A and B are shown apart, each in its own frame.
Chain A
């Protein structure tokens, strides 16, 4: 056997270790892997025309994002984390936070059933079966949540579940600021 071949596993492993190393230093530097950059920040929500999740034929356009600050939550029934996140979204909705749901690459029947069973925190539910709006938004997976201001401009992108901690730490202060901004 060629002796050089025996080094292949070692080299592959070291390369992998480098990747981890880079990621960890990024994490330490504040780049949470759950925090992905978005080119959309500062730009309006992309154009879309999507059906309501429950009522087929009822169409929404981007004007639903105008008027007051909102959360846009991307979710799907195939996503276990969304399941964990859902209860917290219900809590937020009951506190008066306005959330629009974007059901992403999912089956309509399952999604409707999910909302019936777990409760519906959304003021509107958009159905994005082929993931076109998701693609325009640069969605990486579910769940993701976008903070959108009263003018319909994307202000922040949060990847991963919204929970008590990150809501209190990052999202809520930004949301409150947007509310102030809308008033003033």
Chain B
């Protein structure tokens, strides 16, 4: 009975979102106030119904209702309650429901926090978001209903959740990613709404900015979390594999990053409008494309959901309507967009555009790398495989100009600047960056890797140039300390975002070039030295579990005679399944991770032991957190308090923006 309630509220949500996508839009075009006013209540209604439906599904999992097919095939009564709840989004149907719920949440948030926007714009935006949920709800109800019953022959217990998914990392990883993916639908809806009216003004850019930044921050955290999870839990020692599904999340991130910056130019300078609209459409389209790739069975990946051609066709049809429709609208209306600003060759506008193009180039590299094998085979050229080196090489080359421009960009004025104004900071920064990077690599590592120096130069260049910019800006009118206090939050946001990127680059560079993986033979009592750390194999003790024989190996790790840490690596033999599991032990630190895993038992009591030394690996994720924090900081800037905007005209807003 309860499951039917969930199913029913799903159908009501569909009905409401159909209304929400027609009514306000029609009202906006004929100028009917009362119809436009329906947009908000309808949006809240869709959200409420979907929330109800989602709670019902969670309840079915919580109470082990195996009469529901989806519950029976993804959970069992032995799972702890929290994994039963997270199993809701462990497979296709439930994760799709989570996706629409999050989409409705974003729409409700837009309805809630857009009091300052003209009613006409709000109703158009909400109508576009309503159309998107119509598509997804139809998809769920027609092809992937999570509330189908197994009656009359229901199983006594369910199937096990994929053991890889029984992990706290998975509790938050997918919702975070979805928040990011779906969040771009807000910027998309704003772009489409303004294409419909043909009015693309700076107000449009200002309204969509905080939403874009919020979505981007979620996506940044989601991707970082996924990578962190793969590193710690899967124990492969890697943090990025260029797997099609990873790529599917990385492409919207690249587009979103470009969009965020291009929006700021559109808001402040009134230029790049057509480009910004295209990016807004692309960011969300790539999110949809990612969903399609994961769920249609077009590509092969470790992440892929069980595929079904009918579902694939449905999403493809949906993609063609949404993406094709919006690109058609863009092609027809894009010509009317007038850019009003003018700027010279050397200006912040052009530098931002250059980096935007580099981001898009990166995006195309990922897109081609992901899809080329498919196309190549279709046109009859046979199979081709594109591997990690392809992506790594191209990204390294794209990163060089990108980091250079990222360093100087903030110091260059809008509209027009002389290169001579920044030659002094550039020379000084180069004089700091180059020797620093060389010395750091020379003093702290054993070998001079050119790639490591290159990566470090890029990161340090970004940091030093931003330090310079901060100093200049702060001492512009005040003393340094006072000036720092006067800087707006959006300025700090930029600092955090860019420094965060530099921090991540440092981590990626050092761990890619200097990680050590050693396989050694060790008997209890013996010691081995890796990178200055003495790993002493103290001994082995039994740690049998309910269904396995386990051993724990204790390692005392010392450095220069001083105790560093103790690691407990575990080895389990599952007797019934006949399989072995290795539970690695990791000691995380700021400058390195130490990692010990047990291999085979060799003769005479010795063991094969794997020891990893991963320098600076945590910086990758720390940098991502900084970037996301930058996003939070940017949204909290007082410019985005909508209430105050109620009566501010465009002219005044533009003036304000220039002051910023």
- Point out residues on A near B: beta carbons under 8 Å: 1, 3, 6-7, 9-10, 13-14, 16-17, 19-24, 27-28, 32-34, 36, 78, 80-81, 83-84, 87, 90-91, 94, 109-110, 112-113, 116-119, 138, 140-141, 159-160
Measured between alpha carbons, how far is A24 from B610 in the docked complex, in Å?
A: 44
What residues on A are CB-neighbors of B580 within 8 Å? 117-119
A23 contacts B324, CB within 8 Å?
no
A13 contacts B323, CB within 8 Å?
yes
A14, A113, A159: the one contacting B324 at CB < 8 Å is: A14
- Knowing A1-B335, A22-B378 are in contact, say whether A27-B297 is a contact too (CB < 8 A): yes
Q: What's the minimum C-beta distance from B161 to chain A, rounded to whole angstroms?
A: 15
B383 contacts A138, CB within 8 Å?
yes
- Where chain B touches its partner, the secondary structure class is helix
Interface mask (B537-562 → A, CB under 8 Å = 1, otherwise 0): 00000000000000000000000000
Measured between alpha carbons, how far is A36 from B300 in the docked complex, in Å?
A: 12
23 interchain pairs, CB-CB under 8 A = A1-B335, A9-B278, A9-B330, A13-B285, A14-B320, A17-B319, A17-B323, A19-B378, A20-B292, A24-B296, A24-B316, A27-B298, A27-B309, A32-B297, A33-B297, A78-B388, A113-B519, A113-B599, A113-B610, A119-B579, A138-B383, A140-B383, A140-B385
What residues on A are CB-neighbors of B324 within 8 Å? 10, 13-14, 17
B residues contacting the other copy or chain, number (CB 8 A): 52
- Knowing A3-B335, A141-B385 are in contact, say whether A20-B610 is a contact too (CB < 8 A): no
Q: Considering only CB atoms, which chain B residue lies closest to A115 in the complex?
A: B600
Q: Is B582 an interface residue (CB 8 A)?
A: yes
B298 contacts A83, CB within 8 Å?
no
Q: Is B243 an interface residue (CB 8 A)?
A: yes
What residues on A are CB-neighbors of B600 within 8 Å? 116-117
Q: What's the minimum C-beta distance from A41 to chain B, rounded to whole angstroms?
A: 15
Those of B351-407 within 8 Å (CB) of chain A:
371, 373-375, 377-378, 383, 385, 388
Q: What's the minimum C-beta distance from A111 to chain B, rounded to whole angstroms?
A: 11
Q: What's the minimum C-beta distance from B601 to chain A, rounded to whole angstroms?
A: 10
- Knowing A10-B331, A117-B582 are in contact, say whether A19-B371 is a contact too (CB < 8 A): yes
Measured between alpha carbons, how far is A159 from B383 in the docked complex, in Å?
A: 12
In the A-B complex, list the 9 residue pairs whose CB atoms are closest, starting with the nearest. Answer: A10-B327, A28-B309, A116-B600, A140-B383, A6-B334, A6-B331, A3-B335, A7-B331, A116-B599
- Knowing A24-B298, A24-B313, A109-B519 are in contact, say whether A17-B330 is a contact too (CB < 8 A): no
What residues on B are CB-neighbors of A34 within 8 Å? 300
Q: What's the minimum C-beta distance from A39 to chain B, rounded to whole angstroms?
A: 10
B236, B578, B599: the one contacting A90 at CB < 8 Å is: B578
Measured between alpha carbons, how far is A7 from B331 in the docked complex, in Å?
A: 5
What residues on B are CB-neighbors of A84 within 8 Å? 302
Q: Is B597 an interface residue (CB 8 A)?
A: yes
- Knowing A24-B316, A117-B597, A140-B385 are in contact, say whether A33-B298 is a contact too (CB < 8 A): yes
A116 contacts B608, CB within 8 Å?
yes
Interface mask (B296-323 → A, CB under 8 Å = 1, otherwise 0): 1111101000010100110010011001
A-B contact count (CB 8 A): 112
Q: Is B328 an interface residue (CB 8 A)?
A: yes
Q: Considering only CB atoms, which chain B residue lies closest to A165 in the complex?
A: B306
Measured between alpha carbons, how far is A3 from B578 in the docked complex, in Å?
A: 66
B579 contacts A87, CB within 8 Å?
yes
What residues on B are CB-neighbors of A1 within 8 Å? 274, 335
Q: Considering only CB atoms, which chain A residue lies closest to B330 in the complex?
A: A6
Q: Considering only CB atoms, which chain B residue lies closest to A34 in the complex?
A: B300
What residues on B are CB-neighbors of A138 within 8 Å? 383
Those of B134-173 within 8 Å (CB) of chain A:
none
- Point out residues on B near A: beta carbons under 8 Å: 234, 236, 241, 243, 274, 278, 281-282, 285, 292, 296-300, 302, 307, 309, 312-313, 316, 319-320, 323-324, 327-328, 330-331, 334-335, 371, 373-375, 377-378, 383, 385, 388, 517, 519, 577-580, 582, 597, 599-600, 608, 610
B578 contacts A94, CB within 8 Å?
yes
Given A13-B323, A80-B243, A109-B519, 19 additional A-B pairs, CB 8 A:
A1-B335, A9-B281, A9-B282, A10-B327, A10-B330, A13-B327, A14-B320, A14-B324, A17-B319, A20-B312, A20-B316, A27-B297, A27-B309, A33-B298, A78-B388, A83-B236, A113-B599, A117-B600, A159-B300
What residues on A are CB-neighbors of B335 within 8 Å? 1, 3, 6
What residues on B are CB-neighbors of A117 within 8 Å? 580, 582, 597, 599-600, 610
Q: What's the minimum C-beta distance from A87 to chain B, rounded to whole angstroms?
A: 5
Measured between alpha carbons, how far is A45 from B139 in the docked complex, in Å?
A: 46
Measured between alpha carbons, how far is A159 from B300 in the docked complex, in Å?
A: 10
What residues on B are CB-neighbors of A19 within 8 Å? 371, 374-375, 378
Measured between alpha carbons, how far is A36 from B378 in the docked complex, in Å?
A: 11
What residues on B are CB-neighbors of A80 within 8 Å? 236, 241, 243, 302
Q: What's the minimum C-beta distance from A92 to chain B, rounded to whole angstroms?
A: 11
What residues on B are CB-neighbors of A32 within 8 Å? 297
What residues on A are CB-neighbors of B579 within 8 Å? 87, 90, 119
What residues on B are CB-neighbors of A16 within 8 Å? 371
Measured between alpha carbons, how far is A7 from B271 in the docked complex, in Å?
A: 20
Measured between alpha carbons, how far is A33 from B244 in the docked complex, in Å?
A: 14
Q: What's the minimum C-beta distance from B609 to chain A, rounded to whole angstroms?
A: 10
Q: What's the minimum C-beta distance from A28 to chain B, rounded to whole angstroms?
A: 4
What residues on A are CB-neighbors of B334 within 8 Å? 3, 6
Q: Considering only CB atoms, which chain A residue lies closest to B600 in the complex?
A: A116
B608 contacts A27, CB within 8 Å?
no
What residues on A are CB-neighbors of B577 within 8 Å? 87
What residues on A are CB-neighbors of B371 within 8 Å? 16, 19
What residues on B are CB-neighbors of A10 within 8 Å? 324, 327-328, 330-331
Measured between alpha carbons, how far is A3 from B332 in the docked complex, in Å?
A: 8
Q: What's the minimum C-beta distance from B56 to chain A, rounded to whole angstroms?
A: 30
Measured between alpha carbons, how far is A90 from B574 in the docked complex, in Å?
A: 13
Q: What's the minimum C-beta distance from A77 to chain B, rounded to whole angstroms?
A: 9
Q: What's the minimum C-beta distance from A33 to chain B, rounded to whole angstroms?
A: 6
Q: Considering only CB atoms, which chain A residue lies closest to B164 in the complex?
A: A84
A17, A23, A140: the one contacting B378 at CB < 8 Å is: A23
B599 contacts A33, CB within 8 Å?
no
B608 contacts A20, CB within 8 Å?
no
What residues on A are CB-neighbors of B388 within 8 Å? 78
What residues on A are CB-neighbors of B243 within 8 Å? 80
What residues on A are CB-neighbors of B383 within 8 Å? 36, 138, 140
B374 contacts A23, CB within 8 Å?
yes
What residues on B are CB-neighbors of A6 within 8 Å? 274, 330-331, 334-335
Q: Considering only CB atoms, which chain B residue lies closest to A112 in the complex?
A: B519
Q: What's the minimum C-beta distance from B134 to chain A, rounded to whole angstroms?
A: 20
B312, B320, B599: the one contacting A27 at CB < 8 Å is: B312
